[in-house]
Amino acid sequence: MPETATIKSSATHTVPKIALRRRITDHVMTGAAVLTVILVLAPLVAIFAYLIYRGVGSLNWAFLTQTPKPVGEAGGGMANAIVGSAFILALASIIGVPVGVGAGIYLAEFGRNRFGDIIRFTADVLNGVPSIVIGIVAYAIVVLSQKHFSALAGGVALAIMMIPTITRTTEEMLLLVPQALREAAYGLGIPRWRTTLSITLRTATSGVITGIMLAFARVAGETAPLLFTAFGNQFWNLKVTEPTAALPLQIYTYALSPYDDWHRQAWAGAFVLIVLIVTSVAAVRFAVRRGTFGAA
């Protein structure tokens, strides 16, 4: 075949035209691949660098301890939004984590059949539903029945977004637990439910928690489903039935405002949001790794 010959001849500097063209194409495509990597990494670096630059520069004590000042007045902070976000996320986790883990257990332990496949597919489909649509549904279910915006509505919206992710990762993690471990437990006469909770789930704890944190991190920055559920609030609120401020909402409002001071605070808010997400995820993973033997 001519190809073999040309490659060999490339070493002896008698390169026929066809081989040269192919080698140039090869180099060009390699260069193109490297170029795509640079093009993809550039915005990432730009976003992080700019976020840290503007965020750290804008951060101050007032931002972390005060509530927003009236429109046009400089100063103030997002303390209520930081706490409000934590509050809504706690509500979402209280609703979403048990249901998600439970559904995951069902799929892994009882769901190796057609019905399980239906639930599995439903979870995957739910994962792709736009967050704004979930906001509408939470509005229709909670806000319309309560007649006003509330932290609970925001929590429900975020919980709905957390459940499919938690379900699927929990299932995957439980399936990683060796069957022999379950059989050993059955062999000791431990009932199935005890086996699942104390042996299977416990072995997979670190993986399951990683899945929960993944879902948590995903919804922590969500803005769209909170727009017409938690709605936002200029003041402190820790009542489940009242509108509540949330960090992403506040960032959104401030980013679109015409005031420089609010822009500054939006950057500080974005920085705090990302730091909070990263540290909460890291802290939980660290605690879990120390507590168990890190099965996954």
Enumerate residues 155-174 that contact other proteins by CB under 8 A.
Answer: 160, 163-164, 167
d(CA 88, CA 90): 5
Residue of 9, 26, 117, 282 that binds other proteins (CB under 8 A)? 26
Q: Is 208 in the site for other proteins (CB under 8 A)?
A: no
C-alpha dihedral (150, 240, 279, 286), degrees to nearest 10: -140
SS3 61: helix
SS3 71: coil
Residue of 64, 94, 125, 287 that binds other proteins (CB under 8 A)? 125
Q: Is 30 in the site for other proteins (CB under 8 A)?
A: yes
Query: In the complex with other proteins, which residue's Cβ is closer, 181 or 238?
Result: 181
| Minimum distance, C-beta of residue 294 to other proteins, in the bound complex (Å) | 19
User: Quick count: other Cβ atoms within 10 Å of Cβ 45?
Assistant: 10
Distance of CA 225 to CAs 117, 163, 228, 275, Å?
28, 15, 7, 21
The 3-state secondary structure of 222-258, one letter per residue: CCHHHCCCCECCCCCCCCCCCCECCHHHHHHHHHCCC
SS3 68: strand
| Minimum distance, C-beta of residue 48 to other proteins, in the bound complex (Å) | 8
| Amino acid at residue number 270 | A
Query: In the complex with other proteins, which residue's Cβ is closer, 178 or 291?
Result: 178
**Binding range to other proteins, per CB under 8 A, among 18-26, 64-72, 233-241, 283-291:** 18-26
Q: Is 53 in the site for other proteins (CB under 8 A)?
A: no
Residue of 20, 90, 256, 283 that binds other proteins (CB under 8 A)? 256
**Binding range to other proteins, per CB under 8 A, among 27-35, 56-64, 67-75, 288-296:** 27-35
Q: Is 89 in the site for other proteins (CB under 8 A)?
A: no
Q: Is 200 in the site for other proteins (CB under 8 A)?
A: no
| Amino acid at residue number 295 | A
